[in-house]
Amino acid sequence: MTSVRRNLFDPDQLLQLAGEKVFKRGQGYADHGHIALLSVNGDGVFAAAFGTDDYTVWLRRPGPEISGHCSCPAYEDAGFCKHMVATALVANDSVQQGGNLPDKVGEIAARIAVLNKRQLENLLLEMATAEWRSLRSLCFSLDLGWDDDLD
């Protein structure tokens, strides 16, 4: 007996969330390989979208509804974007094909769990000082504040 694999994300709901024009653009992104799945796990799907600029996409399905976030300007302006549609379609396709689904977030969490305090401090400082937005985020997390004139 052949097992039927179900989609992670309902295409009809994606169409409703994105609208026809954005959905079609997302299909094009998916079809042309502009999405790299980084993690597919119980928390949802985390992906990188590559095009004119690169973005990160999180999709979750905590219940029947799809939620998520994309780092692109279109998401900030209008909500559900082509990168989110493309990510969902690529995730669905990967599940349908039955391939190994990546879980880089889970792998990283497992490796971090065995680092000692000094190793973790060094890693965090190296990452935070490599990009100013990461440093800003760390400053806010540690209640160190941030000079808004630097944005």
Same domain, 71 and 142: no
| 106 belongs to a structural domain | no
Same domain, 82 and 141: no
Residue 11: name the closest of 20, 3, 49 by CA: 20
Same domain, 93 and 146: no
pLDDT for 92 equals 93
Tens digit of each residue's pLDDT (9 = 90 or more) over 59-108: 998 777 899 999 999 999 989 999 999 999 999 999 888 878 899 989 99
Q: For residues 103-123, give the mean pLDDT.
A: 94
pLDDT at 134 over 90: no
Q: Which two tokens stand for residue 126?
A: 């190296």
b/e map 93-113, b = 16+ CB within 10 Å: ebbeeeeeebbeeeeeeeeee
Phi, psi of 55 (to 5 degrees): -135, 160
Same domain, 123 and 74: no
| 107 belongs to a structural domain | no
pLDDT for 149 equals 60
Same domain, 58 and 131: no
- Domain extent, residue 143, equals 115-150
Q: Which long-range contacts (CB under 8 A, 24 or more apart) does 91-95 make?
A: 91/8, 91/9, 91/37, 91/40, 91/45, 91/47, 91/59, 92/7, 92/8, 92/9, 92/11, 93/30, 94/37, 94/40, 95/5, 95/6, 95/7, 95/8, 95/40
pLDDT for 3 equals 53
3-state secondary structure of 139: helix
Q: What is the pTM of this model?
A: 0.80
The count of domains in the chain is 2
Q: For residues 101-123, give the mean pLDDT.
A: 93
pLDDT for 150 equals 54
Phi, psi of 128 (to 5 degrees): -70, -30
| 5 belongs to a structural domain | no
Same domain, 67 and 132: no
